[in-house]
Chain A
Amino acid sequence: MTVTFVALWLFAIVLGSTAVVALIWAIGSGQFRNINQGAKVIFDEDEPIGETTDSFPIENKTTWSN
């Protein structure tokens, strides 16, 4: 019983500290500089802001003929 609890808490603490390490890395490496620009990285010239990129297919009777 004790062994399990110790193991579980150790696990929780180790995983928790990886989050802290990652956070420190992120701050140090400038991930949070110009933070609002980050939101735009998923858009590019091909699929710019303001353009929808998904729609229902059009029901087309000739789908299989060509």
Chain B
Amino acid sequence: MVELNNQTETNADDTRDPVDVQLNAERVAEIDASCRQVVLLWYASAVFWLLTGSILALIASIKMHLPGFLADAEWLTFGRVRPAHLNTMIYGWASMSGIGTALWLLSRLTKQRLVWREALYLVGLYWNALVAVGTIAILAGHGTSVEWLEFPWWSSIPIAVGFFVINAVTFKMLATRRVEHLYISLWYLFGATIWFPFLYLGGTLLIHFGFAQGMAKMTANWWFAHNVLGLWLTPIGLASAYYLIPKVIGRPIHSYYLSILGFWTLAIFYNWAGTHHLIGGPVPAWVVTVGVVGSMMMFVPVITVAINHHLTMVGHFKKLKFSPTLRFTVFGAMSYTAVSVQGSLTALRTVNETTHFTHYTIAHSHLGVYAFFTMVAFGAMYYILPRLVEREWISSKLILTHFWCTAIGMTIYWVGLTWAGIEQGLMMNNPDIPFLDIVQRMVPYLFSRSIAGILMTIGHFAFAILVWKMLRREGQWLTGPTLFRRGEKISAEMEGAVE
């Protein structure tokens, strides 16, 4: 161990100029420092909403197999708790952590300090207030019953202001960037922050102001809801994976060509896919067919991303053991492939005939927003927070608890509900089976969902403790701004200090 330490210090092959190294480290540290307050606010808020959303989720899940649970409290009936869970997770946790990561990546990749920091801080507070008001409104019974847009209009539409501020920041940072080449992650971030605000405004106006009625409303609803995943969460998640996987293992992306191809095909196909949610519904057949075709075309970007991430990782899988960021990010990136392939196949009418309106869909959406996006977001936060606060995480054990609880919890969740959904779909398609038999058949699976939910919630609390201690600056100092404990790190690997 000691030998190895000495070796790194006196590495003869190291031809780097120490002055350059120092200058670079200082420049990067300055950029990171410019993000500090803003990103910490967005991240801390995200974690708060993650905990809130988890508890709402658990209540909803337990009610599915224990209908008497909290049945006397009208605020906590299933029809209110479930949309409250969904909206706190999407607009609170996923969007706020995503924006935090996006702002940090934008600064690092355009090599400049974060712009309009005061405005972004205020928008963070404003956003929290709107999510809080919207969630309380849903619990009080004022939800709109339009999935993914349950906040009443007076909470939902003002959020668009927040999205447009992020949009303006992106344009500003693009215009003043200090690099010529736009790294692939930047393309994904521009995709998210430039397109999504318009989608959001379009979707909310159409739905809340009654331009769309009846089936047209449902069409607008699913076109919008699918784009929340497709053109907002997915590009942010992929931007983060495309930065962190090569950065952590110290190896450039396997094929930059493929990554560019992947971005452009996603840009062109994803916003058509949403209408596959309406298969079997009373809408013109061509509307659904366009969605099915869009979904199948998504195989192109998904396969390029899968090949690329896998081939970048080949030979480095051992590092999963030593890096929290890599573990979460790679888990998320693999889930991206899984959820996208599953999604494309589910969009086929023959498959949908069985799986539509069953637990299978719920498993699928969690594979997307949780196993993919949320895990990638955790990975990014494990990387970014120490660099903002300049302290180390306080405990490997808590990180491991977080990882294993969420990874195992999510796996149980997906396996249980996917299986349940297929069974449920086959039974429902058979008119000889009484409906109550199907309901009873589902109870054990729903029970497994609550177990999975409890595991994930434990993981979230472990993570919340870590973030809280980080914000309180209770970890060890990092030895240099971004010179991230180079010597000690390697000795840690040699000792197998982890696990």
Interface residue ranges, A against B (CB under 8 Å): 1, 3-5, 7-8, 11-12, 15-16, 18-19, 22-23, 26, 31-32, 35-60, 63-64
Contact A15 B198 (CB under 8 A): yes
Chain B residues with CB below 8 A from A44, complex form: 24, 28
Select one of A1, A8, A37, A53 contacting B223, CB under 8 A. Answer: A8
B11-22 to A contact mask, C-beta < 8 Å, 1/0: 000001100111
B376-396 to A contact mask, C-beta < 8 Å, 1/0: 000000110000000011111
Q: Is B471 an interface residue (CB 8 A)?
A: no
**Bound complex: CA A49 to CA B497 (Å):** 25
List 23 A-B residue pairs with CB atoms under 8 Å apart, sorted by A's residue number: A4-B213, A5-B216, A8-B206, A12-B271, A15-B271, A16-B271, A31-B181, A32-B260, A39-B259, A41-B179, A42-B246, A45-B21, A51-B486, A52-B250, A52-B319, A53-B247, A54-B248, A56-B322, A56-B323, A56-B393, A56-B497, A58-B488, A58-B492
**Bound complex: CA A37 to CA B326 (Å):** 23
Q: How many A-B residue pairs have CB under 8 A?
A: 164
Contact A36 B256 (CB under 8 A): yes
In whole Å, how far is A33's beta carbon from the nearest beta carbon of chain B? 9
In whole Å, how far is A56's beta carbon from the nearest beta carbon of chain B? 4
Question: Which one of B53-61, B434-442, B475-483 is at the interface?
Answer: B475-483
Extra 12 A-B pairs, beta carbons < 8 Å, given A53-B248, A57-B475: A5-B287, A38-B184, A42-B246, A47-B482, A48-B250, A49-B251, A50-B250, A54-B326, A54-B382, A57-B392, A57-B393, A57-B394
SS class, residues of chain B in contact with chain A: helix
In whole Å, how far is B92's beta carbon from the nearest beta carbon of chain A? 26
Contact B212 A11 (CB under 8 A): no
SS class, residues of chain A in contact with chain B: loop
**Bound complex: CA A41 to CA B23 (Å):** 17
**Bound complex: CA A9 to CA B216 (Å):** 12
Contact B488 A52 (CB under 8 A): no
**Bound complex: CA A49 to CA B109 (Å):** 16
